[in-house]
Amino acid sequence: MTDETCCIVGAGPAGVMLSLLLARAGVRVTLLEAQRDFDRDFRGDTIHPATLELLDQIGLAKRVHELPHVRAPSFRFISSVAIDEAAVFSRLPTPFPYMMIMPQARFLEFLVSEAQRYPHFKLVLGAHADRLIDENGRIRGVGYRSGDGGGEVRSLLTVATDGRFSRMRKLAALAPVPQSGAMEVLWFRLPRRPEDRHDEAAIDVGPRQIMAVLGRPQEWQFGYVGPPGRYRQIKADGLEAFRQSIAAMLPWLGDRVALLQGWDDISLLSVEASRLERWHRPGLLLIGDAAHVMLPVGGVGINCAIADAVEAANVLTEPLRRGQVEDRHLAEVQRRRERVTRFIQRFQSRIQQGMVAAFESGRMFRLPLALRLILRVPGLRNLPPRVPAFGVRRVRLERPEELPLAG
């Protein structure tokens, strides 16, 4: 059994970032992660200016830029009808006017390595948290199983950051409320070549075809978007038909689509936006996808999760250092983040509805007319990219300095 000030369950972006921020502030933290390493297939690779500004606040921006990455100064919708500059980050007032694309595994490893500089941070890999320690209605930690049998972490506060299928959320009897219809994304990768196009981040659109294109340093990551049931239809048509549809949509890939040799090379993500009405119970806080599942639209999932972690650190650091975390502190974290989350989910849902309508009608998807008009007006065109870049407002760390160990 381990006694800690804070136990965090789930080493995704929210959990790792919150662990790092609390450890820097002198809070004893144990981070539990069900997997044994980070070397697995993540889909979210986009790091927006707000997150880079946060890393700059704590002196890590230069070091993260030393890792292999790609910079996308804009995000475009490309079709035979038009090219819409949906988000031009290079015009925004920020030291980092671009979207960084980096394999999420490498980003998480970097943050964990920074957290491990602090002796009061502990990472337990292969720890499947499967029990909340409930004492008279207050959560006092978690029980977990692992290869060596498992154990308990008793803590003043438990934070669930274990993703959209959150086990902690189910154990806490908290049910998310759907905020959108479902959508399917077929993810796959193909090699990148020096002569390839330079659109590092784009949505390519054809008749009943929508493809997200993201440039990694050595490969391209693609997300083939469709309504529920699209994957079943594609699979019934056969792999060769899928290869040909990709080559027809993106001719510059025609010489390498044969590298998709089986359905094991293609991963299905079926997701709908949802949100908890209440993000906490006494002694327990949920943030990131555990509290609100975001759609892939805009690639803002990592940044929303990290913004949750920053606000949680802003609100909870001093109560944790004093050993006095109250329900009002947990409610304050939700209050700071809920309105922004609602706004982004509504925006994502509207775009998704347009995609589904385009599929059903057989027409080519385009951004809503009102948004296209705004993007053409010099005084207004920088407003839409601020949403993926910063959310509704910039989230800043209120105490970025390192603090001595509490107590």
Note whether residue 339 is domain-resident. Answer: yes
Are 16 and 113 found together in one domain? yes
Note whether residue 61 is domain-resident. Answer: yes
Q: What CATH number should be reported for the domain holding residue 214?
A: 3.30.9
Are 369 and 288 found together in one domain? yes
Note whether residue 305 is domain-resident. Answer: yes
- Quickly count: other Cβ atoms within 10 Å of residue 88's Cβ: 17
pLDDT for the residue numbered 403? 83
In the chain, the amino acid numbered 184 is E
Note whether residue 308 is domain-resident. Answer: yes
Are 239 and 374 found together in one domain? no
What 3 state SS string does the chain have?
A: CEEEEEEEECCCHHHHHHHHHHHHCCCCEEEEECCCCCCCCCCCCEECHHHHHHHHHCCCHHHHHCCCCEEECEEEEECCCCEEEEEEHHHCCCCCCCEEECCHHHHHHHHHHHHCCCCCEEEEECCEEEEEEEECCEEEEEEEECCCCCEEEEEEEEEECCCCCCHHHHHCCCCCEECCCCEEEEEEEEECCCCCCCCCEEEEEECCEEEEEEECCCEEEEEEEECCCHHHHHHHHCHHHHHHHHHHHCHHHCCCHHHCCCHHHCEEEEECCEECCCCEECCEEECHHHCEECCCHHHCHHHHHHHHHHHHHHHHHHHHHHCCCCHHHHHHHHHHHHHHHHHHHHHHHHHHHHHHHHHHHCCCCCCCHHHHHHCCCCCCCCHHHHHHHHCCCCCCCCCCCCCCCCC
Residue 220, by phi and psi: left (phi above 0), alpha (psi -120 to 50) or beta?
beta
Q: Residue 58: which domain range?
A: 2-179+272-390
Are 136 and 242 found together in one domain? no
- Quickly count: other Cβ atoms within 10 Å of residue 356's Cβ: 18
pLDDT in single tens digits along all 407 residues of the chain: 567 799 999 999 999 999 999 999 999 999 999 999 887 766 678 999 999 999 999 999 999 999 999 999 998 888 877 888 888 999 999 999 999 999 899 999 999 999 999 999 999 999 999 999 999 999 999 999 998 888 999 999 999 999 999 999 999 999 999 999 888 999 999 999 988 877 789 889 888 888 999 998 889 999 998 888 889 999 999 999 999 999 999 999 999 999 999 999 999 988 889 999 999 999 999 999 999 999 888 888 899 999 999 999 999 999 999 999 999 999 999 999 999 999 999 988 988 888 888 877 878 888 888 888 888 888 888 888 888 888 878 899 998 888 888 76
Are 97 and 157 found together in one domain? yes
Are 47 and 110 found together in one domain? yes
In the chain, the amino acid numbered 113 is S
**Structural tokens at position 73:** 């100064």
Note whether residue 276 is domain-resident. Answer: yes
Considering only CA atoms, give the Rg of the chain.
21
Domain boundary among 271, 295, 319: 271
Give the separation between CA 17 and CA 168, rounded to whole angstroms.
Answer: 19
Are 261 and 282 found together in one domain? no
Query: What is the number of domains present in the chain?
Result: 2
pLDDT for the residue numbered 380? 85
pLDDT for the residue numbered 43? 65
Global pTM reads 0.93
Closest CA to 162 of 282, 39, 33: 33
Are 212 and 356 found together in one domain? no
Note whether residue 401 is domain-resident. Answer: no
Are 286 and 174 found together in one domain? yes
Q: What CATH number should be reported for the domain holding residue 65?
A: 3.50.50.60
- Quickly count: other Cβ atoms within 10 Å of residue 68's Cβ: 10
Note whether residue 400 is domain-resident. Answer: no
Are 156 and 244 found together in one domain? no
Note whether residue 28 is domain-resident. Answer: yes
Domain boundary among 271, 306, 332: 271
Domain boundary among 237, 271, 305: 271
pLDDT for the residue numbered 2? 61
Are 365 and 377 found together in one domain? yes
Are 326 and 192 found together in one domain? no
